[in-house]
Amino acid sequence: MLKALKAWTKRSEDKASGKDKSSSKNQSQQQKTKKTGQQESGGSRKPRGNNSKSGNKPHGQANAKSNKRSHNKAKPRDQHEQKHARTSNKSDWSIDQFVVPVEEGKVRFHDFELHSDLMRGICESGFNYCTPIQASAIPIALQHKDITGKAQTGTGKTAAFLISVIQNLLNNPYQGERFASEPRVLALAPTRELALQIEKDARELTRYTDLTVACVVGGMDYDKQRQVLRNSVVDILIGTPGRLIDFMFKEDVYLDQVEILILDEADRMLDMGFIPDVRKIVRQTPHKEDRQTLLFSATYNDDIIRLTEQWTMDPVRIEIEPEQVTSDRVDQRVYLLEASQRYGQLKKIIDGDDVGLVIVFLNRRDQTRRLYEKLKADNVKVAILSGDVPQNKRLKTLENFKKGSIKVLVATDVAGRGIHVDDITHVVNYTLPEDPEDYVHRIGRTGRAGRTGHAISFASEDDAFVIPEIEAYVGDKLKMEYIEN
């Protein structure tokens, strides 16, 4: 009898334990998430291109749909209602209204047979012919192939990856029930400014489609972003690593349905120390065999190559070198002077009659801080932009700089690359960069939108040795001026 009682008790405990496991949605979801994220898993998956219900959709939907997540899996409003809301403003429009003549050596967006709603967005965004990166990347991305692209800022790479992913989403509507918090496309950017710019471009291109766009970045309303994730079906999610990690670990967003992963300016994410966070994010997406990955970087070194090997599957490598490394609209000069003369020359430049907005670049954060304090003490309208400045303050600083309430911006290379302000008349290299590519990025902040710009570099005995490297890289001799002590 004692044996029977023990056996009955054990069966009851086992049954209760099994019941608890089956009812624990959070536990089952954690197991599912872990399985989804293990890039090294040896589990078999359907080959790319054969895992959609329609037979031609290569990514994302190979994963079995999980049970409805518990606390934040509320379904959004009826999708027919969403479609009506997005399309109610559509007027009659035909591709015939978007006239772009055929020109030898130029590629038109018409040549890709894109969806008419996307073409209307392209038309109203003012695009006519493809830039080199767009002409190269779009047809490859439309074949669902992975891409590693080397392209500088301003080459049109954002539109290249957005147009291709929007077309792929329109061609492959989701089969089955959609849930909130599950994006189909994830785009990661190193800074809030870049993420917001990608969001702006994505909204413009999708304005006549039924696709939804969301952006999660630090320094902005957390609860508002959280509600968007919880209550909306999001097709394209753009974010910075830190804020996305926060939402991910609080189970406000799930990445196991991501079909396309975009990593923009991967070299900057590396420089800013974001790669550990990016790894955590990538591990929550489907295996690289079951998603498309588009990785872009302004530079291509051993570290970037290692990342592409980890995160991409047989990628097509695209390298677009600018036709001219530096613009003819930028007058480049080097002031040869003593180190003690730098500040005095900078003040002369700032106080000049024809000087508008000025960016001053330095190599280190401590250098930017000291120069900022010195200019501030001399009543210059100055602000600082470096990696240790909080993101909410960065955005406010850039807004004030654009408005002209700040005249001088003191910046490091990492922080300065994301600055896109048309009214910058002067860039001053207070210290010369060690990498010639950084020189090009710096002076590219001026001479924008058809304007003339001025790039002045200070060189002393301690850093003049980099000038020949810069000249070799830009393919031209820099004008030298000796400043008398």
According to the model, what pLDDT value does residue 376 have? 96
Dihedral of CA atoms 349, 474, 442, 426 in degrees, nearest 10, equals: 20
Task: Map out the domains of the chain with their CATH numbers.
Answer: 73-97+105-319 (3.40.50.300), 330-482 (3.40.50.300)
* 113 pLDDT higher than 70: yes
Q: What is the pLDDT of residue 392?
A: 72
Distance of CA 292 to the CA centre of its chain: 16
Structure tokens at 411: 């910046």
In angstroms, how far is CA 380 from the centroid of its own chain? 33
What pLDDT is recorded for position 413?
82
Round to whole Å and give the CA distance between 150 and 133. 9
What pLDDT is recorded for position 372?
95
- Report pLDDT digits (tens) over 338-381: 999 999 999 999 999 889 999 999 999 899 999 999 999 999 99
Q: Are 129 and 103 in contact (CB under 8 A)?
A: yes
pLDDT computed for residue 326 by the predictor: 65
Say whether pLDDT at 45 is over 70. Answer: no
Q: What is the pLDDT of residues 63-78, one digit of tens each?
A: 434 444 544 444 543 4
**Residue 69, pLDDT score:** 52
Is 432 in contact with 467 (CB distance < 8 Å)?
Answer: yes
Residue 176 tokens read as 């089955």
Query: Helix, strand, or coil here: 123?
Result: helix
Least confident of 311-315, 429-433, 446-450: 446-450
Q: Quote the CA–CA distance of 225 and 432 in Å, as a whole number.
A: 40
The reported pLDDT for the residue numbered 418 is 66
Q: Can you give the pLDDT at residue 419? A: 78
What is the SS3 assignment for 264? coil
Look at residues 110, 137, 117, 131 and name the one whose alpha carbon lies nearest to residue 317. Answer: 137
Report phi then psi at 330, rounded to 5: -105, 120
**Average pLDDT of the chain?**
81
pLDDT at 41: 32
Alpha carbons 119 and 297: distance in angstroms, whole number:
27
- Please tell me which residue, 48 or 91, carries the higher pLDDT value: 91
**472: buried, middle or exposed (CB in 10 Å: 19+, 13-18, 0-12)?**
exposed
